[in-house]
Structure 1
Amino acid sequence: MTRYAPLLTLGAVAALGGALLAVDVLSDPGQAPPPAPAAAAAPAPAPAAEPVAVVPDPPAVAESVWAGRSSGNEVTVAIAVKDGRAVAYVCDGEQVEAWLEGTLTGSALALGGADGAVLTGTVDATVALGSVTAGGGTWPFAAKVVQAPDGLYDGRANVDGVATRIGWISVDGTVTGGARAAGEVVDAPVLDPAAPDAVVLDGAPVAVTVVDGASEGVVR
């Protein structure tokens, strides 16, 4: 029995030492537990995309004048464009009469005027096709490129102190016109495209301008 006494004593000493070490670790407030693994860093946000400027399509035709009629011959239509700017006139020689202005973007026309007048369509180097709304009606139309003396004419007169605006469209030598004074549609005087300076309305001279696409400020 005395042969196992030293072994028992060493075991007891080892057990006691382990217990004291555990107590020492638990009782020492300065000894912090091992740090937790750091959380993975969030990925950096992707850089914002640069804004892309929208560039409108250049006009299909730089400068031209088209004139024609609605499919049922109800109204006459003329359109003049220059560098993307568009001016149009529609009339029936009686009660329908409207000036419109807008743009030609690519081959697409978009114009508007007073009292809900609207013209939309497409053009190329020879024809313009579309739809026009004016005077309470809407009509499809077709117009061809024209050269002087055919085309679109704008007239201004002062009759007894009342400003009057007149429009004429000449197609294949036939002239159709309309006029408006104090907001009312009135009869247009006769225009001879060969002598535009001779136009008179109720005794007042009329200043006539050819709207050829190069004209500026013809719509007011």
Structure 2
Amino acid sequence: MKRLGPWLTLAVVAVLGLILLTVNMSKESTPTAAQTTATTAATTTAATTTAATPTSAAPAPFPANADYVGTITPATGGALTLEITVEGEKAIAYLCDGASIESWLRGSAVNGRLQLTGKNDATLDGASSGPGVGGRITVAGKQWDFTAAPVTPPAGLYIYTDNGARQSWIVNSAGAVTGVQRAADGATSPAPALAPDATALVGGKKITANKVSGGDDVG
């Protein structure tokens, strides 16, 4: 019986060692209350930061001088061409179908935003969008959303007036021309063809059209 003593002692020591090891492993794998609170706070802070990130930026200011041309395709009827010309803080827009419909609008171009008005309650509200502009135009009670891309001369808006009659043309970036002629009595019809050098035959006479800028008193 005396020879069993050391073996019994070793067995007791081994069992105690296993118990202590299990307790330590349990403490390491179970997060403390402080750890749980810190993790929750970090997650909440991250979510708050993400929600506070702005989702849109203010429109960029317009260049000192710029022209934009776009096409509007109504659900019914033919396509409409829109030209917007900006000079400083002023802007002019001209909308026409190349046959009989036309509308002139004038107003401000401040902080990248357009606010223009015209006859018969016509309005245009827009803003710079990337290199171009976008917004909504209302003419004769009809509304259309629009986008217009920047163009460089000879593209742009041209006009010629004589004896109360007016010819107006929009030239796009590809050189295509859309225009309307308004007679002295207010009757409208397609404008005469405009050549690349901005000349046209009006009433049998060769004329040179004038390029419109945002500060001009036209329309």
TM-score by length of 1: 0.63
Indicate yes or no: 2:182 matched with 1:183: no
Which aligned pairs between 1:26-175 and structure 2 lie closer than 5 A?
Answer: 59-72=61-74, 74-124=79-129, 126-158=131-163, 163-171=164-172, 172-175=174-177
Alignment partner of 1:195: what SS?
Answer: coil
Change (3 A) 1:113 1:96: same
Per-residue deviation at 1:68? 0.9
Q: Deviations over 1:49-78 (max 9, x none)?
A: xxxxxxxx9944322111111154721000
Q: Deviations over 1:4-37 (max 9, x none)?
A: xxxxxxxxxxxxxxxxxxxxxxxxxxxxxxxxxx
Letter in 2 for 1:115: N
Indicate yes or no: 2:219 matched with 1:217: no
Letter in 1 for 2:107: G
Asked whether the 8 Å contact 1:65–1:151 carries over to 2, the reply is yes
Letter in 1 for 2:71: R
* Cα distance between partner residues in 2 of 1:86 and 1:164: 23
* Cα distance between partner residues in 1 of 2:145 and 2:72: 5
Alignment partner of 2:209: what SS?
Answer: strand
Asked whether the 8 Å contact 2:68–2:132 carries over to 1, the reply is yes
* Cα distance between partner residues in 2 of 1:186 and 1:110: 28
Asked whether the 8 Å contact 1:154–1:218 carries over to 2, the reply is no
Letter in 2 for 1:167: S
Asked whether the 8 Å contact 2:92–2:213 carries over to 1, the reply is no
Change (3 A) 1:135 1:190: farther
Letter in 2 for 1:203: G
Per-residue deviation at 1:138? 2.2
Which aligned pairs between 1:3-14 and structure 2 lie closer than 5 A?
Answer: none
Alignment partner of 2:115: what SS?
Answer: strand
- % identity of equivalent residues: 33
| Correspondence for 1:19 | none
Letter in 1 for 2:81: T
Q: Deviations over 1:123-170 (max 9, x none)?
A: 256111112222453221111000112111112123xxxx11121111
* Cα distance between partner residues in 2 of 1:61 and 1:111: 17
**Residues paired across the two proteins, number:** 156
Asked whether the 8 Å contact 2:69–2:150 carries over to 1, the reply is yes
Alignment partner of 1:98: what SS?
Answer: strand
The answer for unaligned runs of 5 or more in structure 2 is: 1-58
Change (3 A) 1:137 1:180: farther
Change (3 A) 1:113 1:205: farther
Change (3 A) 1:207 1:136: farther
Change (3 A) 1:116 1:148: same
TM-score by length of 2: 0.63
| Correspondence for 2:41 | none
Q: Deviations over 1:112-132 (max 9, x none)?
A: 112222211112561111122
